[in-house]
């Protein structure tokens, strides 16, 4: 069964550093999403991406965040200058045209020290 | 998107059916009911969704009341691996966004 793949599974970084979280969505899916979950809290929507542009973003997704689909298969989330409060699990999801179902990856645990 | 209300937690004996309720009294006519679950800190896993008819797949059954104001997710024979947080989410189908808004869900604990 096809799945969404995220790398790395755990990323440790120093405050102020840039990080890039990578996702390989299910092939032939056209809609892509990032969510995050701070430890012990709800899963929160960050951004949706379709047709090479952001279709919606939340208040969390400020100028420090950006997304890109650099090569037609990967979907990345970049945090320019990480803060302690960016520590969380980050989940990528993708959706196809035929079925309105989002499939999630296993997540990347980001630890900002 | 309509708001949903779920119990905070439930217990179920292994091998028995687990029935997880969800209230969505403000649901609109074009909004679907989706169920996802999250095992520990893994990524949310899609279970099932429906509009107004009852649905069944290899994982679960979804029963939606006739007025669509509530629904029940049924795991017919719960196993220890079904211990997870279950989320009931209501949203419009289709469109470029379709973000999922997760609540706190129901923590289902399957007991041996």
Alpha helices for chain B (secondary structure H)? none
Beta carbons within 8 Å of A98's beta carbon, 6+ residues apart: none
Give the pLDDT confidence of A39-80 residue by residue, as tens digits.
Answer: 999 999 999 999 899 999 999 999 999 999 988 789 999 999
pLDDT at residue B83 in the model = 97
Whether residue B44 and residue A51 make contact (CB cut-off 8 A), yes or no, is: no
Which residues are bridge partners to A41 per DSSP? none
> For residues A64 and A56, is the Cβ–Cβ distance under 8 A?
no
Query: Are B91 and B28 in contact, with CB atoms under 8 Å apart?
Result: no
Query: pLDDT at position A98, please?
Result: 81
Can you give the pLDDT at residue B94? 63
Q: Which residues of chain B have pLDDT under 70?
A: 1-2, 93-96
| Closest CB to A103 among B46, B99, B103 | B46
Distance from CA of B78 to the nearest CA of A (A): 23
pLDDT of residue B109: 98
Q: Are strands A88-95 and A5-7 parallel, antiparallel or unpaired?
A: unpaired
CB contact under 8 A, A42 and B46: no
* Facing residue for A43 by CB, picked from B44, B93, B94: B44
A1 pLDDT exceeds 80? no
């Amino acid at each position: 069964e096809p799945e969404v793949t995220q790398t790395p599974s755990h990323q440790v970084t120093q405050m102020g550093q840039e990080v890039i979280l990578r996702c390989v969505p299910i092939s032939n899916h056209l809609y892509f999403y990032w969510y995050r979950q701070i430890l012990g809290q709800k899963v929160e929507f960050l951004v949706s991406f379709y047709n090479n542009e952001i279709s919606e973003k939340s208040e969390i997704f400020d100028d420090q965040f950006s997304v890109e689909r650099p090569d037609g298969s990967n979907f990345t989330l970049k945090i320019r200058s990480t803060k302690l409060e960016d520590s969380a699990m980050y989940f990528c999801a993708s959706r196809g045209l035929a079925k309105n179902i989002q499939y999630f990856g296993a997540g990347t645990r980001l630890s900002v020290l | 998107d309509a708001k949903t209300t779920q119990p905070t937690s439930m217990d179920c004996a292994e091998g028995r059916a687990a029935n997880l309720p969800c209230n969505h009294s403000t649901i609109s006519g074009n909004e679907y009911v989706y169920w996802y679950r999250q095992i520990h800190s893994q990524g949310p896993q899609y279970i099932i969704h429906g509009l107004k008819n009852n649905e069944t797949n290899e994982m679960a059954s979804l029963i939606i009341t006739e007025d669509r104001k509530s629904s029940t997710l049924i795991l017919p024979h719960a196993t220890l691996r079904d211990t997870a947080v279950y989320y009931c989410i209501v949203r419009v189908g289709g469109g470029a966004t379709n973000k999922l808004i997760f609540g706190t869900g129901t923590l289902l604990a399957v007991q041996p």
